[in-house]
Chains A and B, each alone.
Chain A
Amino acid sequence: DAKTTQPPSMDCAEGRAANLPCNHSTISGNEYVYWYRQIHSQGPQYIIHGLKNNETNEMASLIITEDRKSSTLILPHATLRDTAVYYCIVRVARSGGYQKVTFGTGTKLQVIP
């Protein structure tokens, strides 16, 4: 699976959009981009995923560049409860299920009042 690179930390003002970048320059054609977040030491929580099109759900939007080498997770109106570590991972999609998964160290997002 391709590795990802994320900034170690970011700040965002409450109510503003939080834009979290992820670089996955070695991604291959059958790898999806997934985002998770972890609040304190709880189990990580799934946010969103995509292959090559932009995606939106009730939690966030995912923008994937045309060459798929990077992506941005957007939290449109950040709240204090969005303070967490955000992980971007890529995961190959092949019949029989996913295999090894590499999470990395993520981006620690601090939402400031």
Chain B
Amino acid sequence: EAQVTQNPRYLITVTGKKLTVTCSQNMNHEYMSWYRQDPGLGLRQIYYSMNVEVTDKGDVPEGYKVSRKEKRNFPLILESPSPNQTSLYFCASSSSFRGTGDNEQFFGPGTRLTVL
């Protein structure tokens, strides 16, 4: 089954304790992205990657790091989490542009993070 998986699904942590949220896709997609969702603010892009070793900032990258060492994985790293990073996080993937616009994003189930 084609899917995007995220782990963990729920996490409660404390300020300053480094954490990693993993994201993996089995569709051989080139493009992967992380979003956060907060009440009233919709989905905001954190980082994206167009392929292995190619990453770039989205709209809200502060406080986050990413890496893309393998095509299927795109972990989100919070080196020193703070309470304002409490949010619902989504990972997504899509294929690269092939001229038809058939590059819809497939989203993971989400990770609900609480930083105390």
Partner among A34, A45, A94, A97 whose Cβ is within 8 Å of the Cβ of B107: A45
Instruction: Decide: A41 and B110 in contact? CB cutoff 8 A.
Output: yes
Contact-residue size bin, chain A (C-beta under 8 Å from the other chain) = 20 to 34
* Chain A residues positioned under 8 Å from B59 (CB to CB): 100, 102
Instruction: Decide: B90 and A97 in contact? CB cutoff 8 A.
Output: no
Q: Tell me how far the C-beta of A95 lies from the nearest C-beta in chain B, rounded to whole angstroms.
A: 6
Instruction: Decide: B50 and A96 in contact? CB cutoff 8 A.
Output: yes
Given A32-B101, A41-B88, A97-B97: A106 touches B108 (CB 8 Å cut-off): no
* Chain B residues positioned under 8 Å from A36 (CB to CB): 104-105
* Chain A residues positioned under 8 Å from B109 (CB to CB): 42-43
The closest CB in chain B to the CB of A44 belongs to B107
Contact-residue size bin, chain B (C-beta under 8 Å from the other chain) = 35 or more
- What 0/1 pattern do residues 87 to 116 of B give for CB contact below 8 A with A? 010101010110101111111111010000
Instruction: Decide: A97 and B104 in contact? CB cutoff 8 A.
Output: no
Q: Does B67 contact A (CB under 8 A)?
A: no
* Chain A residues positioned under 8 Å from B30 (CB to CB): 97
In the assembled complex, the Cα of A113 lies from the Cα of B10 at a distance in Å of 33
Instruction: Decide: B97 and A46 in contact? CB cutoff 8 A.
Output: no
> Which chain A residues (59-113) contact chain B, with CB distance < 8 Å?
87, 91, 93-106
Partner among A45, A96, A101 whose Cβ is within 8 Å of the Cβ of B48: A101
Q: Tell me how far the C-beta of A9 lies from the nearest C-beta in chain B, rounded to whole angstroms.
A: 13
The closest CB in chain A to the CB of B42 belongs to A105
With most chain B CB atoms within 10 A of its CB, the pick from A43, A49, A95, A99 is A43
Please give the residue numbers on chain B whose beta carbons come within 8 Å of chain A beta carbons, in ascending order: 4, 30-31, 33, 35, 37, 40-45, 48, 50-51, 56, 58-59, 88, 90, 92, 94, 96-97, 99, 101-110, 112
User: What 4 pairs across the A-B complex have the smallest Cβ distances?
Assistant: A43-B107, A103-B43, A105-B42, A46-B104
What are some 15 contacts across the A-B interface (CB < 8 A)? A41-B112, A43-B92, A44-B92, A46-B105, A96-B96, A97-B51, A97-B94, A97-B96, A98-B94, A98-B96, A100-B59, A102-B45, A102-B59, A104-B42, A105-B41
